[in-house]
Structure 1
Amino acid sequence: MWKAVRALTTSAAATQPRLRDVVIIGGGPAGLSLLAALKASRLTRDLQCTLVEGGSLASVRDFASDPPPEYTNRVVSLTPKTIEFMQEKIGSWAYINEDRVKVYDSIVAYDSQDSDSRICFDASAIGTGTLAAMCENINIQASLWEKIQELNSTGDVPAEVLDNVKVEKIESPVAPSASEALDESPDLLAVDPADGMSELDWPIIQLSNGESLQARLLVGADGYNSPARKFAGIQSRGWMYDRFGVVATIKLCYEDYRSIGWQRFLTTGPLAILPLRDDNATIVWSSTPELSQLLLKVDPDIFPHLVNAAMTLEEVDLNYIYKLLEVDPSDKSVLGEIEWRLSKIKLSELDSKYPLPVRELVEGSRARFPLKMSHADTYVAPRVALIGDAAHTIHPLAGQGLNMGQTDVAHLMAALEKGVNRGMDIGSTLVLEEYFANAWPGNHVLLGVCDKLHKIFSTDFTPLVYLRGFGMKTLNTLGVVKDLMIKSVKLVITDKFSTLRAEYKSPRYPIVLCHGFSGFDKLAFPKLTDVLNKQKKLESAVETTVDKLSAPLVSLDYWMGIREALENIGSTVLIAKVPAFGTIKERAVSLNGFIERQCKQLRKKESKASIYDTGSADARSFKSVNERIKVNLVAHSMGGLDCRYMISKLEHRMFEVVSLTTISTPHHGSECADFIVQLVNQFPALKAVCPKSIPELTTSHMRQFNKEVLDDPSVTYLSYGASFEPHWFNVFKITSDIMKPRIKSENHKNDGLVSVESAKWGHYLGTLDQVDHLDLINWTNKARTMVDKAMFAHDPKFNAIA
């Protein structure tokens, strides 16, 4: 009898769902990104998270160690914003196979009805480096998988990934009315629930392996036919385009060093050729259902020539060729027809106005998928959030599908972190509505723009053809407008800080200025009195005036004029001093002690009203209210690394860091440091004079540093970078030339010591154009101002004080 009771008890326990904080359905880039972001965040890493994927992730797991020899056909265009999110927030970019990532800096789009109706966006023309990067989906997934494994090996609560497991059913354990009541007024003081509690309103997910999960928050990253969206009762609206996208991997006749993405708008749909590494490229050909089937059936030897024809010939010629192939997809006589028509185009025109010829189709790479536009009415419901294709699908002509999904993840993470930080229920709509409010409007605009572009270019109606051609030609001639569009994407700052504004708003909290490598607060050379007193005899006239000459003979501030400018607008400014050549840890400990001492003094003698610029007349001291002083950190160069270490690793009793703004800090290392370390290794005698902090600034050391020194979610991280093209007489000419060939990114821009890509951390505020490493702290600005005014009758484009 007891055995029977025990068996029944065991059976009942087996049917009880396991409680999880977050269950993510879908193992694509969006789902894996969210899982990695949850485990990378200090606020959410202790949540119990499970990802469920119906297919196998074996190919994803194998990609890192054994990538296929040829590119796969699912390739996406990553915007700088997406790459930055993967680098800084998730940390997965360190695991990307960069040998299979192609950065490009130009896009050329033109109309099939008029080859002169074209527009070219060239980022390199204005020094911005790159516009986007081409990367395989599986490369992104593999990097995320590797990051999750890393986080699992170091975290206390590992993430769980279930692949080859399908979702069979999602159900609510309570009646809708009860569920709504629970969601509207959650009891934040209630004890943590236990497995099998029937009064929970958490959705239950039944899996094909016989297991069931009960989730505080269910995230649907499960595609267009989302079971999570259907469970939540969220309506998705949109339409099919009656078009299919055909993708394939191709090989060009040779590597195109121009790094250009090409797109031609045909009436059947746009055809894009996007560059990959070496002579590889990928195509996305939007076409009618009939044409898409034909493109899949065409003989592999004919297909490359058909792509060449579609990028160059008039549509009347293309339609004739299509008809020939409909009769026989292997008819090699078509090659002669194509070659004869291409021969009518001047060779110089083919070289300058069109992409390189395609020579080969990679076997087995052709595939097609239906094109559609859809958008969910909302992204959230009680206990449910939607991301990626579960929330929206978009026409591929702008290549924004994956980027939109990553933006969803970023907004959802921000909402969840805020909810956890405030002790709220992450499944409550009180938390989730912020995600919807931030993500939905931008996606809606982008969906609308792509939909209208598709409709405008999918017609040969003559008046509309003339109008769109006129629009493209006009925009292409307006270089200023195009440059502004590129700069809005790349965040290049040219003359925003060229002159002082009439009025500045004082920061709310005190500012701590933190110097970089070999830096100081102030250098003071011997006072004139000290020099005079060394004389054996002082004349009386001199003795009466020495007090007036007690200032240093020469004084040099690291933050030249910046402290005074900040104090003039009412800010409390502290100038830190740390060991000039110390290690990051030594400098961080020194910085922490300096701020502790300064804030201890402020607690004794200053009131809240005198320290904080809040408009308050609060005369109480910080000591009387037992409050830590909030501070903003502003750091130049290596000082940013000191600050990050201090925030992450050290205890602050007297102060609380609100924000960190880094200015040209080598967050990902300096190639100049790489060069010095390599030189020291070749000539060991140099070790005696090489500062011990130099090896810490190498790119390899910073990769490990970034894994160990994690951001504090309660601190806002901001950053600026800088770039310039040095003249022969510039002090950074040599170092800049040393760095350029060593910078792995195809964007070689740097300020003489730190590359633009290395300077990016947290929210990147922009790249200061034509500014070197010392311009940033106003060292060379005064001299440059005099020269520019004398020779060019204008102010320089950068003023550090501005």
Structure 2
Amino acid sequence: MRPIPRSALRPYVCPSCRSSRTLGRRRFASQSDQVPDIYDVVCVGGGPAGLGLLAALRASPVTSNLRVALIETQDLQKARSWKLDSHQFSNRVSSLTPASVSFLQRIGAWEHLDTDRTLPYQEMQVWDGETDSRISFDWSMETSPFEDLRTVATMTENSNLVQALLARIAESGDENISIFSNTTVSSIENGADLIEGPDLSAWPVLSLAPTGLAPSSATPPRIAARLLVGADGINSPVRRFADIQTDGWDYNRHGIVATLSLADLETPTFPVGTRTAYQRFLPSLGGPIALLPLPGNHATLVWSTTVENAAYLKSLPPKAFIAMVNAAFRLSMPDLKYMMRMEQPATTSASETPHEDELSWRVQHTEFSRVPPMVTGVQEGSVASFPLRFRHASTYISPRVALVGDAAHVIHPLAGQGLNLGLGDVASLSKSIEYSVNHGMDVGDLLSLEHYTADRWATNAKIGGACDVLHKLYNVPGQNPVAWARSFGLDVIDRLPFVKAFLMRNAEG
């Protein structure tokens, strides 16, 4: 925890007494003596977590009058005007649980979302690529035959969500709110006990600077925060200022993402309109591959694999890349390992690539059960990768500081819970702030923040730990006792509806 000046910890001294004690003491003006612009809540980071917090505070009648600010290095005007054609989708897509959707509806952001670009799905098929044991997740065990299946999760692009949150914040008006776009935080330090001003010695004071795109006149040089919220990602400067430690490791894996086009379903779904997500664990290749549905026979790909395999996949021309994705859901581990070592096509203009030929021949000699529709295309420029890591902060709070989202925790994406955990943090922190305001408490005091960390730390640790265990369990290749045990466990859970329902309730928040 960061050091706090002794003056901030001493008993309260009224301003008049304090000024009389310093009467006759000569002081020279300096920057530290100048009173910074004071805010109740300052949030660093303009992603879904940071914007979600501001939208939640503005939506509540209790906290709507707090003076709040948001600082973001990127150009939020671009986020406000974001638009893609109806047949194109961003490769940064998230799976929102019902709890996250409920939170967005409660704060009034959901109505600003472009729902034509969202898609709920009602079922998820998961299976082991080594043993072919499988489990299906849906709510059929708790839904009557005369009802539509309940939604497992809803797919939406992160840009769509950011745009909706910005629109909701704008709808709340511009009183008591400042959004500093194209602005960096050059430093954060404890304030000073000013002779002719407030005692800010325990308050975080941020020095701001425009990135070059914003006019310097629009950015105050220094602002003070009664509560500073770090929503600024895995390398959070706010967390460093608060001297909060993190535990974790790198997985030495990369996640490949892409936007794909799919063939039509060969057989109609029942109930009609049911959409399915697919995930197959590929222990011999370093992680699972997932295909999550988007509107209009599109899907988003998330393939966790080794760094070497990720580099190989990104280097392939589109036809060969499509063949590898189709193979990953259909072929055996030896077949996939062979195709991952194939020479790259000499030219991209050929009618068929060696990968397509190899896939066509091997599929004829492979038996497989329920698999996703064949991938027929990949959106240009959508193939990308990112490193996979696990991080968890030792605490989420410090005097006048709170962490949310990736600043507090980063988990493996195999369960699609990263953004949902961040929105859960925001929902919990906004309730803690609301409680403090209702009861006349200082929103930045540790006593006010303790409920937030008590509510979220263990929950996030449990989900992050479960994802870490699953990653390690499903990275043991071959037919061995570990593979047998995980296969047996998957089959048992699939046959016990009440256990599956328990797991799904925990996953949906």
Asked if the contact 2:79/2:162 (under 8 Å) is kept, the reply is yes
- Secondary structure in structure 2 of the residue aligned to 1:320: helix
Structure 1 residue 486: Cα displacement: 4.2
- 2:323 pairs, out of 270, 287, 305, with 305
Tell me which residue corresponds to 2:158: 137
Residue 460 of structure 2 corresponds to residue 459 of structure 1:
no
- Secondary structure in structure 1 of the residue aligned to 2:341: helix
Structure 2 matches for 1:515-554, cutoff 5 A? none
Asked if the contact 2:117/2:294 (under 8 Å) is kept, the reply is yes
Tell me which residue corresponds to 1:400: 417
Structure 1 residue 198: Cα displacement: 5.6
- 1:13–1:277: structure 2 CA closer, same or farther, 3 Å change rule? same
Tell me which residue corresponds to 1:252: 262
Tell me which residue corresponds to 2:37: 18
Asked if the contact 1:17/1:195 (under 8 Å) is kept, the reply is no
Structure 1 residue 478: Cα displacement: 2.2
- 1:432–1:480: structure 2 CA closer, same or farther, 3 Å change rule? closer
Tell me which residue corresponds to 2:3: none
Structure 1 residue 334: Cα displacement: 2.0
Deviations 1:212-255 (A, max 9, x none): 11111100000000000000000011000000111110000126
**What amino acid is the match of 2:67?**
Q
- Secondary structure in structure 2 of the residue aligned to 1:292: helix
**What amino acid is the match of 2:79?**
V
After the TM superposition, which segments of 4 or more aligned residues of structure 1 sit over 3 Å from their partners? 9-16, 66-69, 193-200, 255-258, 325-331, 483-491
Distance across 2 between alignment mates of 1:212 and 1:332: 59
**What amino acid is the match of 1:236?**
T
- 1:199–1:136: structure 2 CA closer, same or farther, 3 Å change rule? closer
Asked if the contact 2:190/2:200 (under 8 Å) is kept, the reply is no
Structure 1 residue 479: Cα displacement: 3.2
Deviations 1:369-422 (A, max 9, x none): 110111000000001000000000000000000000011011111111111111
Distance across 1 between alignment mates of 2:195 and 2:404: 28
**What amino acid is the match of 1:426?**
V
Structure 2 matches for 1:724-763, cutoff 5 A? none
Tell me which residue corresponds to 1:57: 76
Distance across 1 between alignment mates of 2:502 and 2:234: 35
Asked if the contact 1:22/1:49 (under 8 Å) is kept, the reply is yes
- 1:490–1:458: structure 2 CA closer, same or farther, 3 Å change rule? closer
Tell me which residue corresponds to 2:222: 212
Tell me which residue corresponds to 1:202: 203
**What amino acid is the match of 2:159?**
I
Deviations 1:737-791 (A, max 9, x none): xxxxxxxxxxxxxxxxxxxxxxxxxxxxxxxxxxxxxxxxxxxxxxxxxxxxxxx
Residue 173 of structure 2 corresponds to residue 163 of structure 1:
no
Tell me which residue corresponds to 2:7: none
Q: Mark the runs of 5 or more structure 1 residues left unpaired by the alignment.
A: 1-8, 179-192, 492-802
**What amino acid is the match of 1:323?**
R
Tell me which residue corresponds to 1:321: 339
Distance across 2 between alignment mates of 1:103 and 1:31: 24
Structure 1 residue 434: Cα displacement: 1.1
Structure 1 residue 67: Cα displacement: 3.8
- 1:290–1:194: structure 2 CA closer, same or farther, 3 Å change rule? farther
Asked if the contact 1:124/1:130 (under 8 Å) is kept, the reply is no
Tell me which residue corresponds to 1:265: 281
- 1:384–1:469: structure 2 CA closer, same or farther, 3 Å change rule? same
**What amino acid is the match of 2:134?**
R
Deviations 1:298-347 (A, max 9, x none): 1012111110001111111111111114686969222111110012235x
Asked if the contact 1:113/1:314 (under 8 Å) is kept, the reply is yes
Residue 388 of structure 2 corresponds to residue 371 of structure 1:
yes
Tell me which residue corresponds to 1:151: 172
Residue 500 of structure 2 corresponds to residue 482 of structure 1:
yes
Tell me which residue corresponds to 1:122: 138
Structure 1 residue 360: Cα displacement: 0.2
In terms of Rg, which structure is larger? 1
Asked if the contact 1:205/1:213 (under 8 Å) is kept, the reply is yes
Deviations 1:265-322 (A, max 9, x none): 0111110000001110001000111111111111012111110001111111111111
**What amino acid is the match of 1:366?**
V
**What amino acid is the match of 2:38?**
L
Structure 1 residue 485: Cα displacement: 4.2
Q: Mark the runs of 5 or more structure 2 residues left unpaired by the alignment.
A: 1-27, 144-148, 211-215
Structure 1 residue 126: Cα displacement: 3.4
- 2:49 pairs, out of 15, 30, 36, with 30
Asked if the contact 1:35/1:159 (under 8 Å) is kept, the reply is no
Deviations 1:413-442 (A, max 9, x none): 111111111111111101011110111111
Asked if the contact 2:188/2:206 (under 8 Å) is kept, the reply is yes
Structure 1 residue 145: Cα displacement: 0.5
Asked if the contact 1:170/1:231 (under 8 Å) is kept, the reply is yes
Structure 2 matches for 1:588-737, cutoff 5 A? none
- 1:417 pairs, out of 434, 439, 442, with 434
Tell me which residue corresponds to 1:108: 125
Tell me which residue corresponds to 1:427: 444
- Secondary structure in structure 1 of the residue aligned to 2:481: helix
- 1:335 pairs, out of 346, 356, 363, with 356
Distance across 1 between alignment mates of 2:134 and 2:347: 32
Tell me which residue corresponds to 1:40: 59
Structure 1 residue 164: Cα displacement: 1.0
- Secondary structure in structure 2 of the residue aligned to 1:42: coil
**What amino acid is the match of 2:223?**
L
- Secondary structure in structure 2 of the residue aligned to 1:208: strand
Tell me which residue corresponds to 1:566: none
**What amino acid is the match of 1:113?**
E
Structure 2 matches for 1:68-107, cutoff 5 A? 68-69=85-86, 70-88=88-106, 90-107=107-124
Distance across 1 between alignment mates of 2:196 and 2:486: 61
Structure 1 residue 122: Cα displacement: 2.2
- Secondary structure in structure 1 of the residue aligned to 2:476: coil
- 2:246 pairs, out of 236, 245, 252, with 236
Tell me which residue corresponds to 1:450: 467
Tell me which residue corresponds to 2:236: 226
Asked if the contact 2:250/2:389 (under 8 Å) is kept, the reply is yes
Deviations 1:54-82 (A, max 9, x none): 1112332013xx44441100000000011
Distance across 2 between alignment mates of 1:57 and 1:199: 30
Residue 426 of structure 2 corresponds to residue 384 of structure 1:
no
Of Structure 1 and Structure 2, the greater helix share is in: 1
- Secondary structure in structure 1 of the residue aligned to 2:40: strand
Deviations 1:32-71 (A, max 9, x none): 00001111111111111110001112332013xx444411
Deviations 1:75-120 (A, max 9, x none): 00000011001111x11001111101110010110011022x0001
- Secondary structure in structure 2 of the residue aligned to 1:353: coil
Distance across 2 between alignment mates of 1:328 and 1:168: 49
Q: How many correspondences in the alignment?
A: 455
Where relative contact order (Cα < 8 A, 6+ residues apart) is larger, the structure is 2
Distance across 1 between alignment mates of 2:197 and 2:472: 52
Distance across 2 between alignment mates of 1:299 and 1:136: 25
Deviations 1:535-554 (A, max 9, x none): xxxxxxxxxxxxxxxxxxxx
Distance across 2 between alignment mates of 1:446 and 1:313: 31
Q: Percent identity over the alignment?
A: 41
Q: Give the TM-score normalised by the residue count of structure 1.
A: 0.54
- 1:59–1:471: structure 2 CA closer, same or farther, 3 Å change rule? same
